[in-house]
Structure 1
């Protein structure tokens, strides 16, 4: 079973000092123990880079590009990185039209399009409500830690 990780999960997983780190770490460990493959798509990596290299005064990590690249290399070694396949754009266009997506929600919709293209039904995120409109299984770390597992 494959689970796509939302970017907010990988961002917080890289910050042990964050209050949500323990819940996220436990959820990731639980999913792997249940035989799940933890996946990301290139969009997750681009978004992580933006946060990692953005100044701390602007709610980023304030890392150098070299340090950010090292974190991403470590992430790539541990996760399954799925390619940007042909057809994701067409799926995204269909979804934004079908669900009348506006503004920043288009980024989340692109993750859903990638999920559909790669036949992934499950997403782990902190912001469950961001994906409520889509026909996917959305789990939070707290739900996984309470015993909910992907279907």
Structure 2
């Protein structure tokens, strides 16, 4: 059984995909009411599941008429997307950010599930048994090498 965060994430992604605009505007309180949870749960989902690494931009306006806008970043040119990701991960990248990026690339069908698993294994903190910040620098270099190879 999925937890509430997974359910909320799937619901929001489904709305984004179904409206063909790659963007939605939501009211935090309305979504919280729909899922019978506290509004901070919606904040958690948005802050952890709709990040730039995962291919989303989030805008918000506070106040009575406030909203949260979630925009899916689309990129028709896959080589350009890889270049943008490489720029994003240099000179360092955390394990979570790297995994988020790989999930995005899997969703965009730039890599297969098998390739994603291999890449996660290569960049995990268990494999890269170095102290920070060296570990994040090495992870960045490994990911850059793998992504560059995917481009060609």
Q: Which structure's CA Rg is the greater one?
A: 2
TM range (shorter): under 0.3
Work out which structure has the larger RCO, using CA pairs closer than 8 Å and 6 or more positions apart in sequence: 1
TM-score (norm 1): 0.25
TM-score (norm 2): 0.24
